[in-house]
Amino acid sequence: MSKNILPKRDEVDDNFKWRLEDIYPTEADWEKDYKTVKSLIPGIEGHRGKLSASSKGLLEGLGHYYATQRILEKLYSYARMRRDEDNANSKYQALTDRAESLLVEFSSASSYIVPEIISIDEDMLKDWIEKNKEFDEYRQFLDEIIREKDHVLSPEEERILAMAGEVCGAPSLIFSMLNDADMKFPHIKNEEGEEVELTKGRYIAFLESKDRRVRKDAFKTLYATYSKQKNTIATTFVSSLKKDNFISSARRYNSSLEAALSSDNVGIDVYDNLINAVENNLESMYRYLDVRKRALGLDELHMYDVYVPIVKDIDMKIPYEEGKEMIIKALEPLGKDYVNGLKEGFESGWIDRYENVGKTSGAYSWGCYDAHPYVLMNYQDNLNSVFTLAHEMGHAMHTYHSNKNQPYPLAGYRIFVAEVASTLNEILLTHYLLDTIDDDTTRAYIVNNHLEGFKGTVYRQTMFAKFEQIAHGKILEGIPLTFEDLCDIYYKLVKKYHGEGVVADKEIAMEWMRIPHFYRAFYVYKYAIGFSAASSIAKGILEGKPGAVDKYIEFLSSGGSDYPIELLKKAGVDMSTPEPVDEGLKVFDSFVTELDNII
């Protein structure tokens, strides 16, 4: 088979695939657990009225709830990951649909739990918790209920919202099916003049091509394809915005932003601090882009020029096995136990490596409590893929440590802190590469890569966060949004964040159309927050600060046992202040200076 044609799933070597059989050896086992959950869900109703009657009744009800949820999580993660292997596979579409329907049933059956717990006298509930150690694994769950009780509705209203869960998930599902299964891209000519199918997985690789014609063709072709779906995607996205506004309003929040941040016990000032800090430091970004333009020898820097490595004659082709060894060495500062766990992940079927027809684009780490974590990615033989692998293994190792050290109700950590573990791995990899390379040209390449990572993680994600803030704000104000409106908002932000020194090609106005994270409201800002926190922690680890590694491992092992800001404080970082973001931006500026001096 030609290397330029994507293989089908069954044509991919099993050694390159994740081993989902570690969750369910056979689908008969999945069906068995499906029947178990089907039988457990009705029993949840049997605890109604008993939760508030006594501490024993509350403990029994919570035990039933979490036992059911644990199996359901296992069912859903398996089905969804099977579907992600090939989104066009109708068998696993159906399996995922069944699991999602079961999730809705579970949510509906358990919708009375939080309102009933809220009805318990607060002092009495706290007394139960303090006097009975059996409540320890439910302490965080109960504390959050007490904190959020003003936003919990009546049992009947909660039941209705739970029943609407599947419908509310439609915009995200429709976008996923369109973006990952139905959309097909034309062929373009690669650097050798060969006709190659453009895919989302190959898009960034094309934008990193030394041949400007390839970069431009990939850019123009991608957005020409998306433009054909402009009305469908715009309607889908606006429906998602309205869904978020509806739910936040129903729960008596002032906005969907407030609702999204409240789940992490994070104030809007943290969100605003991030945007303000970044927008007050855009000159560093402009300076970097000017260095990029000069290094590439261009009269004009276009949007299809902002990803290509700017150091010439460096061809870092890094096969998967080589990239894996680089990551292991880079993460040695985290200690032998961490590295041993990392090696186990590389060798034990955690990772699905390569792109195939229908496979979900991008990369993620996921799994369930009763099996090791998993990583999906679409590895290309380049440095960007090595960093992606390091990033996702950061998530996986966070899950690994949390599941090993926390009971099920406390193991699940929030996205807010998840990005710390992944980004710290990227930072350590950068420092390892710079510490082991003396050649100025190669160092410049690594510095450029680090600047690109920072640009993508902090500047770009903050731009996304601002776009979300504006778009959601329009819906809150009752202002209708069209495809043209969304493009206009996005285009203005691109110009602001890139400055007058970059040609903002008209196609870039459509970039919002292809960002799946926008269907999970106010998610992307956490990447930028996580990068800033990780920078601070990594600095302590690399400088050999006493206790820095132990504190970090303790943080990884804490799961969701506290609120994100508090967990990070225990690791030595206070994200309620703007200082960590400001410090990260100073580091970015210093790297720009280093690159400028080399170039």
Residue with tokens 């599947």: 166
Instruction: Count CB-CB contacts under 10 A for residue 171.
Output: 21
Which residues have a Cβ under 8 Å from the Cβ of 438 and sit 6 or more positions away?
none
Handedness of CA 118, 123, 126, 127 (dihedral sign): negative
- Note if 392 is an active site residue: yes
Indicate the SS3 state at residue 547: coil
The CA distance from 11 to 17, in Å, is 11
**DSSP assignment, residue 197?**
E
Within its chain, how far is the Cα of 503 from the centroid? 29
In DSSP terms, which residues pair with 503 in a beta bridge?
A: 302
What is the pairing mode between strands 195-197 and 187-189? antiparallel
Distance CA 467, CA 155 (A): 35
**292 contacts 447 by C-beta, under 8 angstroms:** no
Q: Which of 116, 137, 392, 426 is catalytic?
A: 392
Residues 51, 115: contact at Cβ < 8 Å?
no
Structure tokens at 336: 């032998």
Contact 432, 542 (CB under 8 A): no
Structure tokens at 35: 């029947």
Say if residues 220 and 507 touch (Cβ distance below 8 Å). Answer: yes
Quick one: CA dihedral 522, 528, 530, 533, positive or negative?
negative
Alpha helices in 280-367 (DSSP H): 282-296, 320-330, 336-347
Helix (H, G, I), strand (E, B) or coil at 366: strand
Percent of residues in the chain assigned helix, strand, coil, to nearest 5:
70, 5, 25
Q: How far is the C-alpha of 419 from the C-alpha of 497, rounded, in Å? A: 23
Q: Which amino acid is at 186?
A: P
Of 270, 104, 269, 80, the residue nearest 180 (C-alpha): 80
Pairing between β-strand 351-352 and β-strand 374-376 as defined by DSSP bridges: parallel
Neighbours of 580 (CB within 10 A): 24
Q: Which two tokens stand for residue 417?
A: 């802190």
Residue with tokens 């690109």: 452
> Which residue, chain included where needed, has tokens 């046992």?
561
Catalytic positions, written as ranges: 392
